[in-house]
Amino acid sequence: MKIFILLFLLLNSFSNYSFAQTKTPSKAEIKKLAKKAVADLNNADFEESISTSRQVLHYATKIGDNYLIAVSYNTIAANLDQISEYDKAIFYYNKGLSHANKTNNNSIKNFINNNLGNVYCFEKKQYTKGINYYKKSLEYSQKDADTSQIVFTKLNIAWAYFDIGQFEKGYPYLEFLNKYNAKFGAESTNVIQNMLNGMYYGHKGENPKAESYFLKAIALGKSGDQKSDLSYSHQEYSKFLLKNKDYKKAYENLDLYNKITEHLYNDEKINKADIAGVHLELDEYKREVDKIEIEKNLQAQSLKKSRIIVVLFILALNVLLLLLYSLYKNYKFKKKANKELTLANQELLIAKEKAEEASLLKTQFVSTMSHELRTPLYGVIGITNMLLDEHKELANSPHLSSLKFSARYLLSLVNDILHINKIEENRIVLENLAFNVSDEINMIKKSLSFIAQNNNDKIAVKVDPNIPEYLIGDKLRLSQILMNLVGNALKFTKNGKVIITANLVEVKNKSHYIEFKIEDNGIGIATVDQDKIFEKFVQVGRNDNDYQGTGLGLAIVKRLLTLFNSYITLESKVGVGTTFKFTIAFDHDPVKTKEIINNIKVDLSSSQIFKILVVEDNKINQTITKRIIEKNNCSCIMVDDGFQAMEILGKEVFDVVLMDINMPLMNGFETTRKIRLKGIKTPIIALTAFAKDEIIEEVISAGMNDIMVKPFEPLKLFKIINDQINKTRNAG
């Protein structure tokens, strides 16, 4: 009892802080304090940072703001992390995470998971657990499409893998960092990016390249504010020098690491931070005691008004005894339940692993099937085009038109299935291209004229003249959305009209909000079906005479619009027609637009005659590809496999090589590697039925220059051929 009273008096003595006596500040002022605490942390002023974070925590708790509570706990934990109080840091990170999970803010969840990953990887050396926290952090940044934070987290994952010598596992993350850091990263990541490159190339034995990266990291660290990153760069450079037996420079860099670290974490700062940490823990105790004290005062006021205080006290005592007994019984029950729960968790873990395996198999199946379907479709479409070229009298043949349409429909189906799979796996990133809204809509009108003619429909286009001539955004995804919606409208409208409208509805700074509307006077959609049509594989109102498609188009539309932070609305009445509406914000920046347009390369070499080597084992594909090449006034030599390709490249000079990927004996990747080892720099373009994003990394690592996915438009193929030949000639 004496110990309890002493502790209570000690806690009470800390109740006279100035922030407890003053009026509670506004939320904006609390946020300002939180930012100051972070700034103090970055300046290694741990005492001030913890003290300010305590104030933020006090005020945030008072107003019940879970986000600010999570922020303050995160900053407190980060201070403790910096002064090597790792177990306490983990404790406060977890407290912050419990409050962050009560909010809808993915950023704070992302930061705390990232920080837990740092502690477990680099301090506790529990790398598996730490990397799992990093990957959880990555999920939250991907939900918000926060590319800069994605870059930052992938940097940490690469560092963790490199720290335990798993360079090949970490390299894909470093490769992503090298590709996107300049565009989406921050200056604060530049030092570590160069340091990691130095570590990787040092591991690969490419010492000059590694040293160059280390020296660049150190130079950036000296010129910037990231002194802790500078110290890590000296440390890793010292390890590299020691490995290469340059003992003097290794010692010098290790000494610099120690001096910077000692400056950042001197004993006086750490002692002050320890005192601030004690105050922090006392604050935690005080908050609990305050809660008990408030309840006690309320109970005392209630008891004073009653004349049966003694009876109530005895009753309360009896209730307490019953509660203790109940707790004891409950403890035994929970112990038994926990045992059963442990077994259930093990079963759930097995089920989770099976589900992940099934998901991987699904992705592999979709990829394989798309390849297997694209290969014969390339043959069907190519041979159909050849027949139409060789026999002009068949140009109006309904049979050939039907054959070509059916092949393109099958290709569209394969692409839709692949596309929905990519969206669900968060593998789509929007691009920024300059485009003209009117041109895009009229191109879609022209593309769908075949369906319009078959159904005797008319397509009308209305574009608001106030829309700027050029906007910046992902025109390909916009075209895909409009193509699906207009295509659907035409399919379900006979002898009618489809109207495509684009209106400028709002302008905020550079953002121009364009409302798109697709109206038809077709069969309409029943009210009971309107909530279903955006689900995958759902078809409504189908009969044997209607062409309804696969039910994927509107599902893709809905998911693509979420990437634009938009949504779609629907108004429809059976027998009257249907209207779809959505709004997307595009940038309008004349300077940036001019820069994008100037960077578009104009092909002035289409009349040139090139000598092209085609490596392809499929005889039908050989015939089609050769016909396309020769029709464009180029010479073509065909070989069946990689060995023949290497042999002929040793004897003859070609302007470009079109390389199939999936070949017997030796695949396209291995063939390209062997060609590059011989010093042959001829541009090599992968000609494949695989989806581009599935093989892009292996294409680059093998030494190929570009990819062309079959079936393809000849114009696009020769555009890529011209670009690659020009690049090679200019480089030479």
CA of 292: how far to CAs of 8, 297, 594, in Å? 11, 9, 67
Q: Rounded to an integer, what distance in angstroms lies between the CA atom of residue 152 and that of residue 72?
A: 21
Residue 95 lies in a domain: no
Higher-confidence position of 211 and 448: 211
Determine the angle formed by the axes of helices 553-563 and 398-424, rounding to 10 degrees. 40
pLDDT tens figures, 130-153: 999 999 999 998 888 888 888 889
> Taking Cα atoms as reference points, which of 690, 671, 691, 693 lies closest to residue 682?
671
Same domain, 364 and 419: yes
Pick the most confident of 176-180, 342-346, 365-369, 683-687.
683-687
Same domain, 588 and 443: yes
**Structure confidence at residue 542 (pLDDT):** 44
Among candidate residues 404, 427, 450, the one where a domain is terminated: 427
Return left, alpha or beta for 611; rule: phi > 0 is left, psi -120 to 50 is alpha, else beta: beta
Determine the angle formed by the axes of helices 227-243 and 207-223, rounding to 10 degrees. 160
Residue 313 lies in a domain: no
Among candidate residues 427, 456, 480, the one where a domain is terminated: 427
Task: Answer whether the bond into residue 711 is a cis peptide, omega within 30°.
Answer: yes
Residue 312 lies in a domain: no
Same domain, 423 and 450: no
Q: Where residue 547 falls among pLDDT bands split at 50, 70, 90?
A: very low
Answer yes or no: are the C-beta atoms of 659 and 704 closer than 8 Å.
Answer: yes
Same domain, 650 and 707: yes
Same domain, 466 and 525: yes
Same domain, 489 and 421: no
Residue 164 lies in a domain: no
Residue 594 lies in a domain: yes
Give the range of the structural domain holding residue 34, as residue numbers without chain letter: 1-83+269-305
pLDDT tens figures, 18-50: 444 467 888 899 999 999 999 998 888 888 999
Q: What is the CATH number of the domain that holds 397?
A: 1.10.287
Same domain, 438 and 497: yes
> Taking Cα atoms as reference points, which of 120, 233, 243, 166 lies closest to residue 174?
166
Same domain, 457 and 582: yes
Same domain, 678 and 631: yes
Share above pLDDT 90 across residues of the chain, in percent, rounded to a whole number: 37
553-587: b or e for each residue (b if 16 or more CB lie within 10 Å)?
bbbbbbbbbeebebebeeebeeeebbbbbbbbbbb
Same domain, 483 and 535: yes
The widest CA-to-CA distance across the chain, in whole angstroms, is: 112
**Structure confidence at residue 5 (pLDDT):** 29
Residue 108 lies in a domain: no
> Taking Cα atoms as reference points, which of 627, 648, 630, 628 lies closest to residue 639?
648
**Structure confidence at residue 420 (pLDDT):** 61
Residue 115 lies in a domain: no
Among candidate residues 427, 443, 477, the one where a domain is terminated: 427
Residue 110 lies in a domain: no
Q: Rounded to an integer, what distance in angstroms lies between the CA atom of residue 513 and that of residue 127?
A: 46
pTM above 0.75, yes or no: no
Same domain, 593 and 716: no
Specify the number of domains making up the chain. 5
The burial class, CB within 10 Å (0-12 / 13-18 / 19+), for 446 is: exposed
Same domain, 439 and 393: no
pLDDT tens figures, 474-503: 887 898 899 889 988 998 899 999 999 999
Q: What is the CATH number of the domain that holds 446?
A: 3.30.565.10
